[in-house]
Structure 1
Amino acid sequence: MPQANILIVDDEATNLAVFSELLTPIYQVRACKSGEQALHIMRTRQPPDLVLLDVMMPGMDGYAVLAQLQEDYALKDIPVMFITALSGIEDEESGLQRGAVDYITKPVKPAILLARVKTQLALKQARDLLKQHNLHLEAEVARRTRENILVQNISLSVILELAETRDNETGHHITRTQAYVELLGRKLQKQPAFAALLDGAQLEIMVKAAPLHDIGKIGIADRILLKPGKLDAAEWAVMQTHTTIGARTLRRALDRAVYANIETTQESRPEALAVLDVASVIAQSHHERWDGAGYPEGLAAQAIPLAARLMALADVYDALTTARVYKAAWSHEQALAYILEQRGRHFDPAVVDAFVAVQDSFIAIQQQFADNGLD
């Protein structure tokens, strides 16, 4: 283990010589005669492990030196021992209250000085080891967190790929609708009526939950889900159940996680649980209509959760502007006209207004993630 590095600061040459002679056989010792020099040494060279600091010095006294060290992030943890002729109880109390780790009065007894220096260096070494250990733990926690997030994302991707495999005409539907939801949310975020509902964390959760909106289609039979033509009334009734199937599936996954003793308080609830919670709401309600004519519950206006209202417009816009085997893609202008016509009927008027404001970005996303071969 390398020798500890000690800086002695005293304006009297005799004291410097005595302290240096006493400590040099055991430690690496540097010495200077003023507070200004001490700060310069500590800021321009390797910081010492311990400072022996005189209190009464011309110019900058020991108290001022200690105060500056405590304000310097790189130097604030260096232990400082006052060595001074001020021997009153109130002086010692003042020195310790200012942050010194020890207070030794002159004339110094060599054995006491050596013992106290050794003690303070041992304490610093212990603190340094603890700090390194904590940094290692923090790095390990960060690494495991990244791994957990990666596993979550991979698991979600597998589920979504499975859903898309069964409904192979969706193409980039998930990518586009997720981006549309984020665009609408960020626009509404600026309005006082929506600011609290769409603060940074809430909107981020909604965006992460959006891809799961049609997960319930996994439970729909191929003869209905993959039918190339228009569904009859009975088939349409079955298709509508993808909302409740998706919500029920996600809610069961959430309940299992809670049952497995995962913390669910608002302060410590994992984001993954919040995403599942919002995803179940979106899956259940993204086909509700502002006028109450939607499904599965016939909710209307503000009774429809905001995340579902955002997804409703994103989903319909994408369905209109994307080609299917049974229809051609609508132009943006045709989709815009339809959505404006449905303002206050199918869609939340505020969401429609947000869409109109960011429609150029919708066009850009639609073009960037076009379904080649289907448009």
Structure 2
Amino acid sequence: MDIEPKPINQPLVLIVDDSPHNLSLMSELLKDTYRIKIANHGVKALRIAATKPQPDLILLDIMMPEMDGYDVCRQLKADPATRDIPVIFLTGSSGLGNEEKGLAMGAVDYLHKPISPPIMLARIQAQLALKASADFLRSKAAFLEQEVARRTREALAIQDVTILAMASLAETRDNETGNHIRRTQYYVKVLAEHLRSHPRLAPQLSEDYIKVLWKSAPLHDIGKIGIPDRILLKPGRLEPAEFEIMKTHTTLGWNAIQAAEDRLGMPVAFLSVAKEIALSHQEKWDGSGYPQGLAGEAIPLSARLMAVADVYDALISRRVYKPAMPHDTAAAIIIAGKGQHFDPDIVDAFIALQTEFQAIAARYQDTDADLTQKAGAIASAFGTAGC
């Protein structure tokens, strides 16, 4: 029970003793300085300690029936909600072994009976001062942790928006839609997650790597922003010379991301992977791709994953210059490219994930408005002199 109402800013002391005389004596000594609560057994003490407002300090008798002070202290320190409340043991024993035992389990001090009021008040005041400092530091640390988390979330959100803005900038000049970015991003993610258990690929496909891969994927065609409209927006087949220019979008993309990283002045994980994807997603498993003619595992894993995602999406997507292929036809082309165009193990993952690929394509399908807008952009570009 509460002994007497006191100002809320006064520290609250819980006195635990099975002796009514001791409870009365201790309460009388402390009532002018502190708010007081009392408990005449351990179970009640634990209940009060866990109830708001919690005690700022506990004076705990050791020798009590059923649950002694050591058991009470042990449970207080085991509970995250009460472990930081300082405990001062009250004991009639002078044995050093008892003090060592109590201090080892988390008590901050011992007071020996009969109690010396000046010593008791001085030690309580000292421990409350220490607790106030510890509480302040914990509160400050919690605030700083929350602030760091908040600013980290903001930085990541800004980073994500910047990536999508950069990728969308390239898409506005291409004959594809912004949904292509989303679809390929999800295709790459489900492929990577499926392959996390693959013996050859699992070591690289950590959870953190997949997050970086997800963040980097939208930049795979960023280099197309440097391709002239007369080639990028051409409705028909490209001439050989035009195709050679189109192929430079890989190196243009790598150069653009590298320049951004250079300006930043330090390496960034997701930009490193973005550079891999931008430069190498047109490489082929058999070495017949571009721009470097890499083969097999010399092609970065990120680019090998994007190759399957990008080709599949190009095949199933309707464009102003071609109809969409049905899934089965597109899947047959991907499977036929196993070991030639594509990493065989990634093709096996694609085969296992066809239902997921179809679901992603349906969720982010292009609308008629998307395609009409692109058709208008192409017509406008080719109707402008000097394109």
The answer to whether the superposition gives a TM-score over 0.5 is yes
Match of 1:362 in 2: 357
Partner of 1:38: 45
1:185 and 2:192 equivalent? yes
Q: 1:354 to 1:5 in 2, by over 3 A?
A: same
Code of the aligned partner of 1:201: D
Once the two structures are overlaid, the 10-residue window that deviates more, 365-374 or 199-208, is 365-374
Paired residues of 2:167 and 2:218 also in contact (CA < 8 A): yes
The letter of the residue matching 2:56 is D
List runs of 5+ in structure 2 lacking aligned partners: 1-7, 373-387
Shift of 1:313: 1.0
Cα 1:164–1:45 change in 2 (3 A) is: closer
Partner amino acid, structure 2, of 1:149:
L
Map of 1:340 onto structure 2? 335
Count of residue correspondences: 363
1:84-95 aligned at under 5 Å gives the runs 84-95=91-102
Q: Secondary structure at the match of 2:211?
A: helix
Of residues 164-173 and 354-363 in structure 1, the stretch that sits farther from structure 2 once superposed is: 164-173
Q: How does 1:301-312 map to 2 (within 5 A)?
A: 301-312=296-307
Alignment of 1:139-218 (within 5 A): 139-218=146-225
TM-score when normalising by structure 1: 0.92
Give 4+ residue runs of structure 1 displaced > 4 Å after superposition.
none
Which residue in 2 is equivalent to 1:6?
13
Paired-residue identity, %: 53
The separation in 2 between residues aligned to 1:316 and 1:69, in whole angstroms, is 62
CA offsets, 1:51-91, max 9 Å, x none?
11111222221111111111111111111001211123343
1:45–1:221 Cα change, 3 Å: closer
Give the superposition deviation at 1:11.
2.3
For 2:141 and 2:165, the matched residues in 1 are separated by 36
Following superposition of structure 1 onto structure 2, how do residues 69-84 of structure 1 map, counting pairs within 5 Å?
69-84=76-91
Match 2:73 to one of 63, 66, 71: 66
Alignment partner, residue 251 of structure 1: 258
| Counterpart residue type for residue 78 of structure 1 | I
**TM-score, normalised relative to structure 2:** 0.89
- Could you tell me how far 1:306 is from its partner in structure 2? 1.1
Q: Distance in 1 between matches of 2:178 and 2:45?
A: 68
Q: Tell me whether 1:55 sits opposite 2:55 in the alignment.
A: no
Structure 2: how far apart are the matches of 1:43 and 1:182? Answer: 46
Residue 212 of structure 1, CA deviation: 0.5
The one-letter amino acid paired with 1:279 is A
Please report how far the alpha carbon of residue 241 of structure 1 lies from its aligned counterpart in structure 2 after TM superposition.
0.7
1:97 corresponds to: 104
Q: Is 2:285 the partner of 1:290?
A: yes
Mapped partners of 2:358, 2:101: distance in 1: 69
- Contact 2:167/2:221, CA 8 A, preserved across alignment: no
Cα drift, residue 223 of structure 1 = 1.7
Q: Which amino acid aligns with 2:157?
A: L
Residues 176 and 87 of structure 1: CA distance in aligned 2, closer, same or farther (over 3 Å): same
SS at match of 2:73: helix
* 2:289 alignment partner AA: G
Take 2:308 and 2:54, find their aligned partners in 1: how far apart are those partners?
61
Verify: 1:317 aligned to 2:317, yes or no: no
1:300 matched to which residue of 2?
295
CA distance in 2, matches of 1:227, 1:69: 75
Q: Which residue of 2 aligns with 1:269?
A: none
**AA paired with 2:260?**
A
Structure 1 residue 45 displacement after superposition? 5.6
2: distance between equivalents of 1:289 and 1:151? 34
Counterpart CA distance in 1 for 2:114 and 2:155 is: 61
Report if aligned partners of 2:175, 2:319 keep a CA contact under 8 Å in 1: no
2-side partners of 1:171 and 1:322: how far apart? 12
Q: Secondary structure at the match of 1:350?
A: helix
CA RMSD of aligned residues (A): 1.8
* Aligned equivalent of 1:327: 322
SS, match of residue 125 in structure 2: helix
Q: Is the 8 A contact 2:160 2:215 kept in 1?
A: no
Q: Show CA shifts across 1:36-59 (max 9, x none).
A: 332233235632111111112222
